[in-house]
Amino acid sequence: MYDTEVIRIRLLRGADPLVRSLVRSRPPGRLFSMRIPLCLRNYCGMTFCRRRLPHIYETDQPVFLTWRLYDSLPSNRTFPAAALNSGQAFAAMDRLLDQARSGSFYLRQPAIADMIVEAIEYNANTLGHYLLHAFVVMPNHVHLLATASAALPKLTKSLKGITAKRANAMLGLTGNPFWQEESYDHLVRHDREFEKIWSYIE
């Protein structure tokens, strides 16, 4: 919840009061989209979508996606009291995922991991939802760097939906949540950042 507020304030800095009030008036858990006005020069022409986390996406621009297993982090996890920007919050979450000793580690199973790899490649090569740059399947989460050619919600719904259904069938857990509902996404701003993310994944 804290991370959401930091991200939202950062995105809205410099926006006119009408835009700020419009975004804040939407309760978490409700989807909506809006066009970002020119006053947010870096985000002009992008779509803003909020559930519990805000999502800004644009097709034909690289995006860094991370999604995790449903119970991969304890619900009582805490972040440092000092204010974190979105990058620091992501790094803290990623460290927690890498060091996790509890929760599910289904992606360690070769059959599950292979199925997810196939789905990632199928969505890129057959469905054409994105141009795939790099990805890695970790024991409890997935990182993906891609240039989207479809809207981000469509891309994540397609990937997470089919892999959850197949994994649950393989594990005998049909009807249970597999992935955490929301994903972390970050629009890559420049070549240096692209290279940094690509190196991190590889």
For tokens 């509890």, name the residue: 102
Residues 6+ apart with CB under 8 A from 84: 2, 3, 6, 92
Q: What is the pLDDT of residues 2-56, one digit of tens each?
A: 233 333 323 333 444 444 444 444 444 433 343 333 334 344 344 444 444 444 5
SS (H, E, C) 185-198: EEECCCHHHHHHHH
Residue 56 pLDDT = 57
Give the pair of three-digit tokens for residue 202. 């590889």
Give SS3 for 45: coil
Half-sphere exposure of 170 (CA within 13 A, CB side): 17
Residue 78 pLDDT = 62
pLDDT in tens, the chain (202 residues): 323 333 332 333 344 444 444 444 444 443 334 333 333 434 434 444 444 444 455 667 899 999 999 988 777 666 555 656 767 777 777 787 888 777 889 999 999 999 999 999 999 999 999 999 999 999 999 999 999 998 888 889 999 999 999 999 999 999 999 998 888 888 898 999 999 999 999 8
Separation CA 42–CA 1 (nearest Å):
25
Separation CA 75–CA 131 (nearest Å):
34
Q: Which CATH class is domain 58-201?
A: alpha beta
Q: Where in the chain is the domain with CATH 3.30.70.1290?
A: 58-201
